[in-house]
Amino acid sequence: MIERKAFYIGGEWVLPSAGDITEVRDPATGELVGVTPRGSADDVDSAVAAARGAFESWAATPPRDRIAVLDRVRDGLRERNDELADLISSEMGAPQAFSRVAHARMAVSNFDFAARAMEEILDEGEETIGSTLVVREPVGVVGAITPWNFPLHQISAKVAPAIAAGCTVVLKPSEVAPLSAYVLAEIFAEAGLPAGVFNLVGGAGRVVGERIVTHPDVDMISFTGSTEAGVRIAELAAPSLKKLTLELGGKSANVLLDDADLAVAVPAALKQCFANTGQACAALSRLLVPRTLLAEVERVAAEAALTWTVGYQSDPSTKLGPVASLDQQKSILGYIDSGISEGARLVTGGSTPPIDTGAFVSATVFSDVTGDMTIAREEIFGPVLSIMPYDTEDEAVRIANAVPYGLSGGVWSGDRDRAVAFARHLRTGQVVINGQPLNLRAPFGGYGRSGVGREYGRYGLDEYFEIKSLQGAGE
């Protein structure tokens, strides 16, 4: 059992102002994995003061020196890859094999790509527009508030570009999965990051998170989580007009065109929905198929779903570990029951837990799902796929765009140009063509209720700059 007693503030491990703790439990067994301190507004104030005090010096640090620190952190993360992967698996349920190749490695990539994006900006030099010199300056103190579903990846996707840009950071990780954040703090210390540039305070969103958002010395908030929580953050940040990046919910459509190779596309579509046990904001949870191919798609989907073995995180054969908590399991099973009661046809799976104890959910596929059903409109955040038939491509576009979200999407076709042409009609921040792997250097973010701003690579780095025009400093 891991016991963390202090927060990382101003380059030191500092005891919290109160003695409350958060218990972190394995969602498969209920076993106590670790405890972390629960912070207060006073702890946030200390962390913000440290970040504010370090900002001027860090912003003035030569960018290539900042890049060197990021590269050392990247290497530190790589060295502790398996440790971090196992830690994440134990706190939020991802199979260990998936944690090693996804959760931990994506954090390594985020630090690498942020450093390379900063090098790209330096190589380009400052822009001149006539008599004006355009310069970038770091935003200031960044409050980063992160979720439990990809805990270390989401932390690194915010912290790495913020530090590369010259900002300082106060991080609040999810209470469900906070442990990897403490390891990252250790790696920062070992990499020689100056005191106060990165600060860690854990605790409840209504206490620690809201104090970060409303603090007068925090200049920007970067948040990933539910749309409801994002709206709350936007309301709290409005009086001080803080800069915001909000990566929120999704209900993304995956469209099979009539020339798609079903033997390839359908199993891949299940992976695009079920990866991380369906706990991904970008999960492609609606599968739109030509009505003439519906029966064949159902057959292939039912066969493919059988390969999504439910089990414990340490079992190499497990593809679906437990969801993050019993509360999350209850929510997902409720959605499955609503799908049945509202008239969707269950192809496989269902609301009976596949393992009697723990937060397990079977790979579940519905068909004949219509746009007015709850499972077609709301984010389930679990391994539940809704197959929705269409008659024409125009109808498929309308179905895909008929939700208030716009985070991701997918298109499958035997003709890549045809798929790209269709993708241009989807109102979403990302469209995956024929199952292309995630590119962490490309921009990621949403339309509508899926959020504001972009993350990853050069576009993600740009969010952490203010742009200044120096009139008369140009040619």
Residue 170, CA distances (Å) to 94, 251, 338 in order: 26, 30, 40
- Residue 124 to residue 260: CA distance in whole angstroms: 41
User: Residue 475 pLDDT > 80, yes or no?
Assistant: no
Has 273 been annotated as catalytic? no
Among candidate residues 91, 175, 210, 247, the one labeled active-site is 247
What is the tens place of the pLDDT at every residue in 406-424? 999 999 999 999 999 999 9
User: Residue 287 pLDDT > 90, yes or no?
Assistant: yes
Taking residues 429-438, report their average pLDDT: 97
Instruction: Tell me which amino acid residue 203 is.
Output: G
Taking residues 386-406, report their average pLDDT: 98
Of the pLDDT bands very low, low, confident and very high (cuts 50, 70, 90), residue 120 is very high
Cβ atoms of residues 253 and 426 within 8 Å? yes
Instruction: Tell me what percent of the residues of the chain surpass a pLDDT of 90.
Output: 99
- Structure tokens belonging to residue 383: 């391994």
What is the DSSP annotation of 360-374? ----EEEES--TTSH
Query: Which residues, in sequence order, are CB contacts of 447 under 8 Å at separation 6+?
Result: 405, 406, 407, 427, 428, 429
What is the tens place of the pLDDT at every residue in 12-28? 999 999 889 999 999 99
Taking residues 23-45, report their average pLDDT: 97
What is the tens place of the pLDDT at every residue in 245-265? 999 999 999 999 999 999 999
What is the tens place of the pLDDT at every residue in 80-112? 999 999 999 999 999 999 999 999 999 999 999
Among candidate residues 91, 175, 281, 379, the one labeled active-site is 281
pLDDT of residue 179: 97
In whole angstroms, what separates CA 136 from the centre of its chain?
Answer: 26
Taking residues 106-124, report their average pLDDT: 97
Has 126 been annotated as catalytic? no
pLDDT of residue 474: 82
All structural domains of the chain, each given as residue ranges with its CATH number in brackets, are 2-248+451-471 (3.40.605.10), 253-448 (3.40.309.10)
- Residue 334 to residue 318: CA distance in whole angstroms: 24
Cβ atoms of residues 304 and 259 within 8 Å? no
- Dihedral, 213, 215, 217, 222 alpha carbons, nearest 10: -10
Closest CA to 223 of 243, 248, 202: 248
pLDDT of residue 279: 98
Q: What is the mean pLDDT of the chain?
A: 97
- Residue 179 to residue 171: CA distance in whole angstroms: 13
pLDDT of residue 19: 82
What is the tens place of the pLDDT at every residue in 300-312? 999 999 999 999 9
Of the pLDDT bands very low, low, confident and very high (cuts 50, 70, 90), residue 60 is very high
Q: How many CB atoms lie within 10 A of CB 235?
A: 10
Q: What's the whole-model pTM score?
A: 0.96
pLDDT of residue 18: 86
